[in-house]
Amino acid sequence: MLFRFLLIIFSVCLIIIPSAAEIICIETNQNVLVFETDNDNRLLQTYFGKKLLNASDYGLIRSQNKQSDSNGGVFNHIYTPSGTWNLVEPALTVLHADGNRGTDLQYVEHEQRIVSNDVVETKILLQDPVYKTQVILVFKSYLNHDVIEQWAEIKNNEKKPIILEKYASANLNFMNREYYLTHFHGYWAKEMQPEQTKLTSGIKTIDSKLGTRANIYNHPVFMLSFDQPATEEAGLVLLGTLAWSGNFKLQFEVDPYHNLRLISGINPYASAYPLQTGEVFITPAFIFTYSEEGKGKASRHLHSWMRKHRLLDGEGSRMTLLNNWEATYFKFDQQKLHTLIGDAKNLGVDLFLLDDGWFGNKHPRNNPRQGLGDWQHNVEKLPNGISSLVKEANENGVKFGIWVEPEMVNPKSELYEKHPEWVIRQAERPEVYFRNQLVLDLSNPQVQEFVYDTMDEILSIKPEISYVKWDCNAVIFNAHSSYLETKGQMQSQLYVDYVKGLYKVLERLRVKYPTLPMMLCSGGGGRVDYEVLRYFTEFWPSDNTDPIERVFIQWNNSYFYPSIATCCHITAWSDVGIKFKTDVAMMGKMGYDLVVEKLSEDEMKFSQQVLKDYSRLKDIIWYGDLYRLQSPYENPYASLMYVDEKKNKAVVFNYVISNRYYDNYSPVAVKLQGLNPQREYIVKEINLFEGKNSPIQTKAYTGEFLMKNGVNPILRKGRTSVVLEVTAQ
Ligand code: GLA
C-alpha cells in the first residue's frame, strides 16, 4: 500500500453509499469536485459545482447522467489514459518500453490530510494493471479561497525507460447546457485581449510553442462560463490557469453528449519526455477557482490566494520607481544618470531603476544588436561602475535597481564568441533571431551556473542593489541543445528542461536573496504565470503604456493577477496628459518612466502630491477587494474600485475611454460595491492639480446609497479621469 486511507473529520463524503463504489470529494468552503469508481474500478468525475446540502446525494449523481459510453470510447475519467478503452482526448499517453502505447488507469487508493486551517491535500493513486505505470493525482484545496491546485506525479514502474508523449496536469469534466470560453490573446503591445467563444462540438485548443516568453500570442489563463456568459456579479464561472513558464496547452472538448472535457498541461508539442525506471515526472500545477456569483468574486478569490500562497512577498510592500528606459533608451552616461537620480529624489519615488544599456565593453550595449551576455559594466559610459551609482542614489535617499536579461545572448557578444555551445541553435542552419538575440540553453547545468553567477555577482555589488528588472525578449527558434546531444539525451526534453533549468536558477537565487524585489518583464507581458510568480514580486504587463490601452490591459490582467503585482508606469506614450496617465497607473503598482525634466512645475507638484496620496492609499489598492464596476468593453468609460477588508476605506477609479462627444458625459451615477450599507462614507475627489476645484462636493453618503444609487464622478471633457477617495466616518 502506497499510503493509507485516512478518515478526515470534515470530509462530507465519508458516507455509506448503496454500491461498493468509492466516492472521493475534493472540497473547498463553497465547492466540491466529486469522483466515483465504476465497476471496472476507473475513477470518474461525477460532479463539479457548489456543495450539495445533503452529502449522501453525491452517490446518486452518476445514475442520473450520461457521462460515459463504452461504445463510443467516451469517459469522464479523472485522468484519461490513451490506447485502451478511451477514444476521446487523453490526458496521458505513454510509450511503454515494449513499444505499446496502451495505458489503463484504475483506482487503487487515496489519502486526505489537513495541511493547515486553510489547506487540505488529497492524493489519489491510479495504476495500470498491466504495466504498473502509476499516476498520483494531487489536489490541494485552499478552503477559504475556493481555489484548487492540482497536478500529476507519473511513475515508471517498468524495467526499462518509458516515454511520456502527453502528460497533462488536469482533466476536468463538466455537464452543462452551454459553455462559454474567454481566453486572452495578443501580441507585443496588445497583450491580454479577451475573446469569448461558445464552445461547440470538437476541440478548442489554446496553446503556445514559443518556448520562453510563451505568452505573446496566448496567455495560459482563461474563464469558462457555464450555461450562459457570467457577468461580474452573476453566473457560474471557472477561472483557471496552468502554472508553467513554457509551452502550454489548454484543450476544451465538447463530446457527443454535450459534456465538456478540459485538459490542461505542458504542451506535448515536440516534448516527448523519457522516464527512467523508478523515476517520477511531476507535472506543473493547474490552478482554478469556481464561483456561482460571477467573475468578480472568482477573481477576488484568486487575488487573495495569490497574495497569501503564491506571489513572492504577496502580503508585503512594494516600491515606487523612476525607470530611465523611455527617458534615455541606450543613450546615457554617468552624468545623465546623476541627473536622473536627482529627478527621482525630487519626484519622491522610492527607487531609481537603471534599464538596458549599462554593460558590454568589447561589444558595448549601445543598441539592441550587441553586448547581451557580457554583464560587466561599460567602462566608457560608467567609469566609476555601478557601485558608485548605488551609493549616489542612496545618498539622495533613493534605492537603486538594475535591468538584466540573463537568459539571452546577442551573437555579437563575448559570451557567444566563447561559448557558442551554450546557445540554443542548430549549428548547420542559419540562425533565426528575435530582437537580434538568441536564447541560452538552460537545460545545461553550466549555463544555469553562469546565469546564477551573473546574478550573484551583480547582487554582490556594495552598496546593495535593491531591485531587479528581469527581462526575456526572445523566443526559441531552431530548438536544439548541444548539451542534450552530448549527453545522449532526447532533444524533445529541451522545452521542458529549459523551464526546469530556469526554476532551478530562480530557486537558488531565492535561497540567497529571499526577499529582493524583482520585476518580471518580457518585452512587456510575454511571460507571466502562477509558477514564476513564486520568484517575482511583480510583473510588467505590457510595453504599451498608452493609458487608454492600459485601462483595457490592466482590466484583463486584473481577473488573474492582484494589483500589487501589476506594474503600471506613467510614460510619454500618448498625449492625454499626466493626470489621466497617473490615475491609470495608480490602480496598480505605480511607477514612472519619463523625462522628469519635461514636467511643468504644476505637473511636478501634482505628481509629488499623488505619490504622497498613493503612499497613504496603497494598502487599499494592493490588498483590498477589487470590484470592476463599469466595463470599458460595454461602456464608453470604465470604473473600478478597491475596498479594504474592514470596509473602512475605498478608492474608486473612473476613466472616459472614448473620444466621441456625448461619451464624454457620464449620464449615470456609478454604483459602488463592497461597502457597509449601514455606515456613512465621505466621498472626496483626489488627484487634482493644485488650485483646481472639484465639481464633486466632498460629502457624506450612506454605504447603502452609494451602492444602490451610486455617485456620479462627473466625467466630461477636461475631466476624463476621476479618482474618488471614500472614507467611513
Ligand atoms: C524590453 C522591456 C522594456 C525595456 C527594454 C530594454 O522591451 O519591455 O521595458 O526594458 O526591453 O531593452
Residues 149-169 pLDDT 10s: 999 999 999 999 999 999 999
Find the helix packing angle between 578-585 and 547-557, rounded to 10°. 10
pLDDT score recorded for residue 15: 45
Mean pLDDT of the chain: 95
pLDDT score recorded for residue 385: 98
pLDDT score recorded for residue 668: 84
Beta-carbon contacts of 44 under 8 Å, excluding residues fewer than 6 positions away, are 35, 36, 37, 38, 62, 67, 68, 75, 76, 77, 78, 173
Choose the residue to mutate in 405, 473, 550 for probing ligand 1, maximizing ligand atoms within 8 Å of C-beta. 473
Around ligand 1, the residues with Cβ closer than 6 Å are: 325, 355-356, 403, 471, 473, 521, 523-524, 543
Per-residue burial over 39-62, b = 16 or more CB atoms within 10 Å of its CB, e = otherwise: eebbbbbbbbbebeeebeebbebb
pLDDT score recorded for residue 3: 45
pLDDT score recorded for residue 174: 97
**Closest C-alpha residue for ligand 1 atom 3:** 523
**Amino acid at site 289:** T
Residue 620 · residue 649 · CB < 8 Å: yes
Residues 41, 583: Cα–Cα separation, whole Å: 58
Q: Is the pLDDT of residue 18 over 80?
A: no
SS3 assignment, position 346: helix
Residues 4, 399: Cα–Cα separation, whole Å: 53
pLDDT band at 65 (very low <50, low <70, confident <90, very high): confident
Beta-carbon contacts of 625 under 8 Å, excluding residues fewer than 6 positions away, are 300, 303, 642, 643, 644, 645, 674
Beta-carbon contacts of 418 under 8 Å, excluding residues fewer than 6 positions away, are none
pLDDT band at 552 (very low <50, low <70, confident <90, very high): very high
Ligand 1, closest atom to CA 521? 8
Q: Which residues are catalytic?
A: 471, 543
Residues 377, 511: Cα–Cα separation, whole Å: 25
pLDDT band at 73 (very low <50, low <70, confident <90, very high): confident
Residues 238, 307: Cα–Cα separation, whole Å: 19
403 CA to middle of ligand 1, Å? 9
Residue of higher predicted confidence among 251 and 718: 251
pLDDT in tens, 46-63: 999 999 999 999 999 988
**Closest C-alpha residue for ligand 1 atom 7:** 523
pLDDT band at 271 (very low <50, low <70, confident <90, very high): very high
**Closest C-alpha residue for ligand 1 atom 8:** 523
The DSSP-derived string for 520-555 is E-BTTBS---TTGGGT-SEE---S---HHHHHHHHH
**Alpha-carbon distances, residue 486 vs 66, 211, 270, 499 (angstroms):** 52, 21, 19, 20
pLDDT in tens, 407-433: 999 999 999 999 999 999 999 999 999
Residues 135, 137: Cα–Cα separation, whole Å: 6
Mean pLDDT of 704-724: 96
Say if pTM beats, i.e. exceeds, 0.85. Answer: yes
518 CA to middle of ligand 1, Å? 15
Residues 612, 682: Cα–Cα separation, whole Å: 20
109 CA to middle of ligand 1, Å? 50
Choose the residue to mutate in 326, 331, 521 for probing ligand 1, maximizing ligand atoms within 8 Å of C-beta. 521
pLDDT band at 13 (very low <50, low <70, confident <90, very high): low
SS3 assignment, position 48: strand
Q: Is the pLDDT of residue 544 over 60?
A: yes
**Amino acid at site 547:** P
556 CA to middle of ligand 1, Å? 21
pLDDT score recorded for residue 69: 85
pLDDT band at 453 (very low <50, low <70, confident <90, very high): very high
**Alpha-carbon distances, residue 196 vs 36, 192, 232 (angstroms):** 32, 13, 15
pLDDT band at 6 (very low <50, low <70, confident <90, very high): very low
150 CA to middle of ligand 1, Å? 34
Residue 221 · residue 240 · CB < 8 Å: yes
Choose the residue to mutate in 470, 543, 569, 570 for probing ligand 1, maximizing ligand atoms within 8 Å of C-beta. 543
pLDDT band at 369 (very low <50, low <70, confident <90, very high): very high
C-alpha torsion sign, points 666, 669, 671, 672: positive
- CA end-to-end distance (rounded Å), the chain: 61
pLDDT band at 74 (very low <50, low <70, confident <90, very high): confident
Tell which residue, 666, 669, 697, 703, has the closest CA to residue 684.
Answer: 697
Mean pLDDT of 528-543: 98
Mean pLDDT of 346-350: 98
Tell which residue, 610, 628, 667, 648, has the closest CA to residue 726.
Answer: 648
Q: Which grid coordinates belong to 94?
A: 505513454
Residues 228, 255: Cα–Cα separation, whole Å: 18
pLDDT band at 666 (very low <50, low <70, confident <90, very high): low
